[in-house]
Amino acid sequence: MTDRSERLPDLGPRPGPAGSGRDDDLPQHVGDVIVRTEGLEKYFGDHRVLAGIDLEVRQREAVMIIGRSGSGKTTLLRCINFLEEPSIGAVEVDGVRVDADPLKARSRRHQEQIRQIRIRAGMLFQDFNLFPHMSVLANCIEAPTRVLGVSRDEAVTRAERYLEVVGLSEKRDEYPARLSGGQKQRVAIARALSMEPKVLLFDEPTSALDPELIGEVLNVMEGLAHAGTTMIVVTHEMHFAEEAADRVVFMEGGVIVEQGPPEQLLREPQHEATMRFLRRFIHR
Amino acid sequence: MATQSDALGRSQFLERVRKAQARSRLSFRIWFALTWIVLVGGLVFALWITGNIDLSFINEWGPYVLGGAGLTILLCVTSIVFATILAIFGAIARLSGNPIINGVASLYVSLVRGTPLIVQIVFIYLALPQLDIRIPAIPAGIMALSFNYGAYMTEIFRAGIQAVPSGQREAAQALGMPEHLVMRRVVLPQAVRIVIPAIGNDFVAMIKDSALVSVIAVQELLWRAQNVGRQNFRTLEALLIAALVYWILTIVFSFFQERLEHRMARGDR
């Protein structure tokens, strides 16, 4: 683990200067707010999946969201970059603020704002979703060249840098079909990093992996967290959360029940629901 | 000792079963081939024994009829290309949330699928001149075939686009790609791979349907066969040649299409 983090790019100094007006109990290294959700609600038909989520994630902060399936954690993540259109509330990513407005969801202006959020928030999926018809390198330079307008040379340089971060430089010309699940997810991380986003959103990134392949992906993620990458991770990996998180958020029934530093939330939860949920993991 | 001989007996038994299965597969193939040879041979013999088959006519006009195969292939290759382009746009339009675009595309599909191909061919060549739109026979034939197959293939492409996993679209959107890039760079390339076997299938079908353009005097296989057959009162021989050529063409292209399908099925996911 330690040898990997030495290869990581400098994504910002770790003990950052404290921003003005911060709460005193925030960790020293975090900066300004990058992601903010305000009163976020999501209905599927009559069913309320998110019941008013107010979440702030600061620069260089690694936030892990835990909770049983159906608690709304994945929906929250997908609402942040509008893969699900929230029903009520607002999302702000790196200063781009979009109000939920299902009635105007198809309007050009709204779509363009959403795209601005997506450019700033990289997303990792449970089943990787690499483009199977493109090589690893092509996967990584596609969006930077065509969305950001980065030159091909610059995009290739970037892609190679981030492929090295995930330890897959030698696979740059392979096609996804020839990679293991763990390698696919690491390429997906390199692809997301190649956009140089302000925050990475991980949606259960190891849930589709064979147990022996989970470690290599978590190692990369932990390295990124320690290097100061802002990230929001929906996960079931409690050990990983304990190691890599600055803050753990416990969700149930579409609301944030409790949040705090991992040692506090995972060791001494304050709420009954959190205790009940964590009890299942104690004897693992 | 006993177990060893048992094991030996078992392996010998399994070997016998394996050989028997191989023999039965081989004999199936032999009988299958023999059936074809006997049936085709019998048919040829029956025709020959009537004494009505003029071999010198076949010798004399065979090459001329065969020459039409080139135009048939040209018609089909050109038409399948245009039809594919039409189908891609048709499919995107059929999936569009815009009611006007969607309406235009579904009217096109409904209209083409609801009228006979031969009516479309004759309409373009013989009816449009009344509106001062004059199109020469070969382009008219290509237009009709493209238009017709484009509509059927629109539905194929629509299914192909829908068969691309939704995660692919989401991944592209999450990278900030605008809708046209998502379609052009991520969804379509994968949809095309999915529908290529079906396009091959349609190509083989089109080889046969292209015979219909003979009605507007495009000098392809069937037109040539009918022409020389009528002139020499040898329609039987002429049509036999044409039918044989169509048959061989479809066998050849089906062979390629099956191989392509096989390669696609191996996949690269």
pLDDT tens profile A61-101: 999 999 998 899 999 999 999 999 999 999 999 999 999 98
Token pair recorded at residue A112: 């363009």
- Contact assignment for A132 to B190 by CB distance below 8 Å: yes
Q: How far apart are CA A210 and CA A180, in angstroms?
A: 10
Decide if A2 is inside a domain: no
Task: Tell me the residue range of the domain where A92 lies.
Answer: 33-282
Decide if A16 is inside a domain: no
Nearest chain B residue to A116 by CA distance is B176
User: What's the pLDDT score for residue B196?
Assistant: 87
H-state helical runs in chain A = 2-6, 73-80, 108-120, 136-146, 152-165, 181-193, 211-226, 238-244, 262-267, 272-282
User: What's the pLDDT score for residue A188?
Assistant: 97
Nearest chain A residue to B167 by CA distance is A129
Q: How far apart are CA B191 and CA B176, in angstroms?
A: 21
3-class DSSP state for residue A15? coil
Q: Which of B123, B132, B146 is nearest to B216 (CA)?
A: B123
Decide if A78 is inside a domain: yes
Backbone dihedral angles phi then psi of residue A97, each to the nearest 5 degrees? -110, 130
What is the CATH number assigned to the segment(s) B55-266?
A: 1.10.3720.10
The full set of domain ranges for chain B reads 1-51, 55-266
- Reported as a pLDDT band with limits 50, 70 and 90, residue B7 is confident
CA distances from B269 to A21, A136, A180, A217, B165 (A): 51, 13, 12, 21, 12
SS3 assignment for A26-73 = CCCCCCCEEEEEEEEEEEECCEEEEEEEEEEEECCCEEEEECCCCCCH
A81, A148, A175 ranked by CB distance to B174: nearest: A81
First to last CA, chain A: 22
* Residue type, position A106, single letter: R
Token pair recorded at residue B71: 């135009």
How many Cα atoms sit within 13 Å of B49 on the Cβ side? Answer: 6
3-class DSSP state for residue B233? coil
Decide if A224 is inside a domain: yes
Nearest chain B residue to A78 by CA distance is B174
Tally of domains within chain A = 1
Q: How far apart are CA A70 and CA A277, in angstroms?
A: 13
User: What's the pLDDT score for residue B229?
Assistant: 87
Percent share of chain B, pLDDT over 90? 65
Rounded average pLDDT over B124-144: 92
CA distances from B134 to A188, B118, B125, B129, B137 (A): 56, 18, 7, 5, 9
- Contact assignment for B268 to A122 by CB distance below 8 Å: no
Q: What predicted TM-score, i.e. pTM, was given to this entire model?
A: 0.81
Q: How far is B78 from chain A (nearest CA, A)?
A: 27
- DSSP string computed for B98-124: -HHHHHHHHHHHHHHHTS-HHHHHHII
Q: How far is B169 from chain A (nearest CA, A)?
A: 9
User: What's the pLDDT score for residue A282?
Assistant: 63
Token pair recorded at residue B41: 């041979």
How many Cα atoms sit within 13 Å of B246 on the Cβ side? Answer: 19
- Contact assignment for A129 to B171 by CB distance below 8 Å: yes
Selected residues 120-179 of chain B with any CB under 8 Å from a CB in chain A: 165, 167-168, 170-179
* Residue type, position B123, single letter: F
Decide if A234 is inside a domain: yes
Would you say A143 and A130 are in contact if contact means Cβ atoms under 8 Å apart?
no
Crossing angle of the two packed helices B99-113 and B137-163, in degrees rounded to 10: 120
pLDDT in tens, B186-210: 999 999 888 988 888 899 999 999 9
Q: A47-58 and A96-99: which strand pairing?
A: unpaired
Residue the block writes with tokens 């195969």: B69
| Bridge partners, A42 (sequence order) | A50
Check if B6 contacts A (Cβ < 8 Å). Answer: no
A81, A129, A191 ranked by CB distance to B167: nearest: A129
CATH of the domain at A185: 3.40.50.300
CA distances from B169 to A116, A279, B5 (A): 17, 38, 62
Q: How far is A142 from chain B (nearest CA, A)?
A: 9
Sheet of strand A33-44, all strands in order from the earlier edge strand to the far edge? A47-58, A33-44, A88-93, A96-99
B168, B177, B193 ranked by CB distance to A147: nearest: B177
Residue the block writes with tokens 């690491």: A186
Please identify every stretch of chain A with a pLDDT value under 50, giving residue numbers as ranges: 1-22, 284
The residues of A whose Cβ lies within 8 A of any Cβ of B are 81, 83, 106, 111, 115-116, 118-119, 121-123, 125, 127, 129-133, 142-143, 146-148, 175-177, 191-192, 195
Predicted-complex ipTM score: 0.88
